[in-house]
Amino acid sequence: MQMLLGACLDAGARIAHPGEFTRRAYLEGRLDLAQAEAVADLIDAASREAARSALRSLAGEFSTAVDTLSAQLTELRALTEAVLDFPQEEVDELHLEEARARLARVRASLDEVLAKSQRGSLLRSGIHVVFAGRPNVGKSSLLNKLAGEERAIVTPVAGTTRDALREAIQIDGVPIIVVDTAGLRESPDEVERIGVERAWREVARADIVLAVLEAHAEVGPDEHEMLARLPEEGVRILVYNKVDLAPGVPAGRRPSASNEVWVSAKTGAGLEDLRRMLLEASGWSGDGQSTFLARERHLRALALARRHLEEAALQLERWEFFAEELRLAHSALTEITGAFTPDDLLGEIFARFCIGK
């Protein structure tokens, strides 16, 4: 192969640049920029759902959503420009009302696209799920169960886990990173103390915290103190483990308690419910329709557009300012599909492709 390649190169051929073919398709107008990026995302997809989501973007679903937003904005801008063009006429209540109504609609649509994109971006990085709890409640056992292998050391000794241990798993094709941490308690042991500090750091950056308690034991002051220290924001699920030791307590979730579940790492009871809750808490509805595999670049552009629309809402009666905010929001959106994208950004995007794609 090397010799053949060498002969071709000697005869005047050259090696393709990374992403060159996709770039050409983009420059020829066959794909928009978001679709071109979806080619790379499909190649890199690490899970079934990420691949599906990338395929939908490649088919243009994300671009269509952005274009629809863009079209709504264009109409609103046309209305605004008309008002600006005829300043001598009194701007009547009617215009104002219409602008207000249209702006509200664009903002609602944008929020929806942004929410879908934020959910989808979790598919790229994996949803961070962190086990937290007092020593010996069974955090490591639960991680092993979810991972399907004996990854973490489990012993009856309180304070077994010291370091944070992360495991990439998939639930229904959705990538999830589960993190086991040291049991939370005051300890004279320096190694354990560092472990506990790390555990709190992991908790702080979690998308979902699984606060593990014991089903057969009282929730005492130590547990309450731990629960009170968990961050307010983010999702929290209370997991009552060792339900096998609590006679008469059924495993699984209760209709009355949406963020609590009773499980046993030993028997596996209730774990299916826990898996479902993780998917739900991550916003994964299961049909995959509710997400866009957005990139950081897209999220930033959407968030920027959103800020300008917020600002526009405050400027509603000062038409020049209103028009300017709309223009800025619009240009943020068009960067996503690449209608107006600076060359250096294109270079950066296509450089990350593999050669020959």
Ligand X SMILES: Nc1nc2c(ncn2[C@@H]2O[C@H](COP(=O)(O)OP(=O)(O)OP(=O)(O)O)[C@@H](O)[C@H]2O)c(=O)[nH]1
Kindly tell me which of 152 and 281 has the beta carbon lying closer to ligand X: 152
Is residue 161 near Mg ion by the rule CB under 5 A?
A: yes
Restricting to residues 102-141, name those near ligand X by CB under 6 A. Answer: 133, 135-141
Is residue 141 near Mg ion by the rule CB under 5 A?
A: no
At 130, give phi and psi (nearest 5°). -115, 130
Of 133-141, 199-207, 284-292, 297-305, which part binds Mg ion (CB under 5 A)?
A: 133-141
Find how far residue 179's CA is from the centre of its chain. Answer: 17
Identify the residue among 241, 282, 334, 337 touching ligand X (CB under 6 A). Answer: 241
Q: How far is the CB of 263 from ligand X (least distance, A)?
A: 7
**Among candidates 106, 64, 102, which has minimal Cα distance to 80?**
102
Whether 178 and 167 have beta carbons less than 8 Å apart is answered as yes
Of 17-25, 76-84, 238-246, 307-315, which part binds ligand X (CB under 6 A)?
A: 238-246
Restricting to residues 155-184, name those near ligand X by CB under 6 A. Answer: 155-156, 158-161, 182-183
Spell out the residues 6+ positions from residue 80 whose beta carbon is closer than 8 angstroms to its own.
99, 319, 322, 323, 326
Spell out the residues 6+ positions from residue 150 whose beta carbon is closer than 8 angstroms to its own.
144
Q: How far is the CB of 153 from ligand X (least distance, A)?
A: 7
Kindly tell me which of 242 and 298 has the beta carbon lying closer to ligand X: 242
| Token digits of residue 167 | 């495991």
First and final C-alpha spacing in the chain: 19
**Among candidates 167, 76, 155, 159, which has minimal Cα distance to 128?**
167
Of 24-32, 138-146, 191-199, 210-218, which part binds Mg ion (CB under 5 A)?
A: 138-146
Instruction: Judge residue 6's burial from the number of C-beta atoms within 10 Å of its C-beta, 0-12 exposed, 13-18 middle, 19 or more buried.
Output: exposed
Q: How far is the CB of 44 from ligand X (least distance, A)?
A: 33
Residue nearest to ligand X (CB): 183
Whether 193 and 144 have beta carbons less than 8 Å apart is answered as no
Is residue 144 near Mg ion by the rule CB under 5 A?
A: no
Of 132-140, 186-194, 274-282, 346-354, which part binds Mg ion (CB under 5 A)?
A: 132-140
Is residue 140 near Mg ion by the rule CB under 5 A?
A: yes
Whether 98 and 118 have beta carbons less than 8 Å apart is answered as no
**Among candidates 130, 129, 121, which has minimal Cα distance to 182?**
130
- For residue 179, which amino acid is it? V
Q: How far is the CB of 158 from ligand X (least distance, A)?
A: 5
Binding site for Mg ion (CB under 5 A): 139-140, 160-161
Binding site for ligand X (CB under 6 A): 133, 135-141, 154-156, 158-161, 182-183, 241-242, 244-245, 264-266
